[in-house]
Structure formats: structure tokens, C-alpha cells
Amino acid sequence: MRVVLADDSFLFREGVARLLMEAGFDVVGQAADAEQLDDVVRSKRPDVAVVDIRMPPSNTTEGLVAAKRIRAEFPEVGVLVLSHYVESDHAVDLLSDGAGHVGYLLKDRVSALDEFADAVRRVGAGGSVIDSELVGQLIARGRETNALDLLTEREREVLSLMSEGRSNQAICEKLFLTPKTVESHVRSIFTKLGLLPAPDDHRRVLAVLTYLRS
């Protein structure tokens, strides 16, 4: 899987590049700012762009804007945005189209190589990855009465794990349930949230977004 990295810190980029190469990825380009990132993505056409949310010149949202631009121009390129802190509004903005090929992680996750490498692979394969701390922060905002109130406690547990990007098999292992039981819960979640039949990956993203917004 071909990866490009964008971060204004040379040492951080080099460290991430080394970790990814040790995990079997092909790091085909690096960028120090959003403009360089655009050029690298256009020339290298990677599978995944790993992008810092804050980049020069203002170090505010240049990385986020660049990530959204990449998703619009090159929808086949996965984008994994990294942030020092949970910035929930920015994350929901990035994830709001429900199209997959996108992820949002705290930079601290990079040190957990297996978790980080798995996130890059999932985004490159068309999935979505959402940091568990972001999920927790959004849940802490509280819920209004909505479709999620129809879910059982177990269905909420399943949806919470789905929001972290976990597969059905991973949910089975976490909750000690059979695959058939998890599949039943997932189907029930889709039905209660009014998600009409469509590719399951797409419905998973929409279900997670409903969960995060509530």
C-alpha cells in the first residue's frame, strides 16, 4: 500500500515513515505543507495520505482543508488525519459525507504501531477509522431524543464499537458474542436508524455518523 505523509515537523514525518516502512508500507512521498501535499498526491497517486490537521502557514486548519480537497478531487485516495487534540467539529466535518476512505486519529496512536498500521490499511481499503477518544467526547455532549433512543443497550454497545472502526469479528471478540448474534444486532441497528438496503460498508458509516452527531 502506497502512502504519502504531510506534517511540518521533519522529525515526526521521518519517524512515521520509518514505522510505516517497517510495517510493510511503501512511503512514496512527504510534504511539509498543504501546497506540497497537493503536488505529491497529484504526482504519486497514493493509496493513503496521512495528514496533520494543523499545517503552515497559519497552523490552524490547512491540513483539514487539504484533506477535504483530496477527497473531492481523488476519491480513491484514503485520507487519515492526525491531530494532537480531539477537535470534534473538524472530525465530523471531515467524516460527514459518509463515503469511507477516511480516518481521524490522535497523534498519540502513532506510537501503537499495530493499531496505527491497521488504521492506515483500513482507510486505504475504503473503510473509516474514528479515534475512540473522539467517540467518547461526542457521547459526553449528551443526547437529544432521536432514533438512537430506539436502540437496546446491547445495540448501543455494538454501534459504539462500530464507531471505532471495528469489524463484526472484532465486535464478536470484544463482547463475547457469536458472529450470527452480531450480524443480527447490526441489521437491527440499520433498520431502527432508517438506513435502507445498500452496501453494508456505506450503511456502517452512516450509522456511525448518526451516532456521533446525536
Specify whether 97 is located in the same domain as 36: yes
Both 189 and 103 in a single domain? no
At 202 the pLDDT is 72
As a whole number, the mean pLDDT across the chain is 85
Average pLDDT over residues 137-164: 75
Domain that holds residue 169: 143-213
pLDDT digits (tens, 9 = 90+) for 62-113: 888 899 899 889 999 999 999 887 766 667 777 766 567 888 888 888 888 8
Same domain, 67 and 148: no
Give the separation between CA 40 and CA 27, rounded to whole angstroms: 11
pLDDT digits (tens, 9 = 90+) for 8-51: 999 999 999 999 999 999 999 999 999 999 999 999 999 999 99
Whether residues 180 and 126 share a domain: the answer is: no
Q: What is the mean pLDDT of residues 198-202?
A: 66
Residue 178, phi-psi category: left (phi > 0), alpha (psi -120 to 50), beta (remainder) = beta
In this predicted structure, the answer to whether residue 143 has a pLDDT above a threshold of 70 is: no
At 142 the pLDDT is: 47
144 pLDDT more than 50: no
Confidence at residue 29, expressed as pLDDT on a 0 to 100 scale: 96
The phi and psi torsions of 118 (rounded to 5 degrees) equal -65, -40
CA distance 170 to 108: 22
Q: At what angle do helices 168-175 and 153-163 cross, to 10 degrees?
A: 130
pLDDT value of position 149: 79
Percent of the chain at pLDDT exceeding 70: 86
CATH number assigned to the domain comprising residue 14:
3.40.50.2300
pTM listed for this prediction: 0.67
Q: Which of 136, 162, 195 is the last residue of a domain?
A: 136
How sure is the predictor about 146, in pLDDT bands with cuts at 50, 70 and 90?
A: low
What pLDDT score was predicted for residue 137?
Answer: 64
Q: How far is the C-alpha of 116 from the C-alpha of 23, rounded, in Å?
A: 10
- Note whether 61 and 151 are same-domain residues: no
